[in-house]
Amino acid sequence: MAYTKVELLNHLEVLGIDPKGTLLVHSSMKSIGEVEGGADTVLDALSEYMKEGLLVLPTHTWSYINGQNPKFYVDHSSVCVGILPELFRKRERVIRSLHPTHSVAALGKDAEEFVEGNEQHDTPCARNSPWGKLLDRNADIMLLGVDLRRNTFIHGIEEWMNIPGRLTDDHEQLYVVLSDGTEISVPSRRHCGESWSEYFWKVDEICEKTNVMYKGYFGNALVRICKTRPLTNLLSAMLEINPDLFSNNQPLDLSLYQSVFEKIGS
């Protein structure tokens, strides 16, 4: 049996997502299972549920926009993180931010204000960019069929804390190209070194135990939901104790962070 839009709307309600708030969705369409109408129905359900709020999807292009291929075309550059954001960015009333590698697309309340000024920042997840605005709004992050390794917001937390080795020291010359052909120069630092995000999974269990994150289902997909403020408070405190938290594949030494867990739980 294929899932209907009505069933998917019910799943969103059961997940407890604030329909008048801000929702960022990282996604795997394949994980949801069969859906009547396919990916468009999924986007219809998300958009309808959040019609009084703000729906945001990442429309990243970091995999191919670089110094050798420096021009990001806001209307045409395809997304490198899945089919749902690629279809979403092309929808009516959806606004895409002007960042060459880590753009987002937004629909709904304050969408224009939310994406405004993204081209003014020389890093992927600057505090005053849409990624930082998610924190200001205490947005819900929905990891739909993907895990914490795909949670770009954690890159933001590391960036705001100046964790060593996460960004290049030098800039590469990139450009944002608008609909009318106008080119905006955006010299950019990039994520560098190891694939740090591959170790974000290390805090999955502790995020759930401290009620920073909870799990549910959307279609067949296992979903993780977390609020940006509690997530930031937890991970900032852990990174302050151990800046190398995500620097290797070693299991967590929970004893290092006992004071953090006690404070979060109080």
Residue 72: beta bridge partners?
176
Residues 6+ apart with CB under 8 A from 76: none
Structure tokens at 208: 């759930």
β strands within 109-266, DSSP E: 140-144, 172-177, 183-188, 213-218, 221-227
3-class SS at 174?
strand
Q: Report the chain (266 residues): mean pLDDT per 10 consecutive residues.
A: 96 97 98 98 98 98 97 98 98 98 96 97 97 98 97 97 94 98 97 86 94 97 97 96 90 89 74
The conformation of residue 69, written as its DSSP 8-state character, comes to B
Q: 116 and 204 in contact (C-beta within 8 Å)?
A: no
Residues 6+ apart with CB under 8 A from 171: 122, 187, 188, 189
Phi, psi angle pair for 74, to nearest 5°: -60, -30
- Whole-prediction pTM: 0.96
Residue 73: beta bridge partners?
177
Give the pLDDT of residue 265: 64
What does the alpha-carbon distance between residue 156 and residue 99 come to, in Å, rounded to a whole number? 15
What does the alpha-carbon distance between residue 12 and residue 36 come to, in Å, rounded to a whole number? 17
3-class SS at 240?
helix
Over residues 23-42, the pLDDT tens digits come to: 999 999 999 999 999 999 99
The conformation of residue 72, written as its DSSP 8-state character, comes to E
CA 141 to chain centre: 7
∠ Cα 201 245 213 (to 5°): 40
Q: 65 and 141 in contact (C-beta within 8 Å)?
A: no
Give the pLDDT of residue 204: 96
Give the pLDDT of residue 1: 84
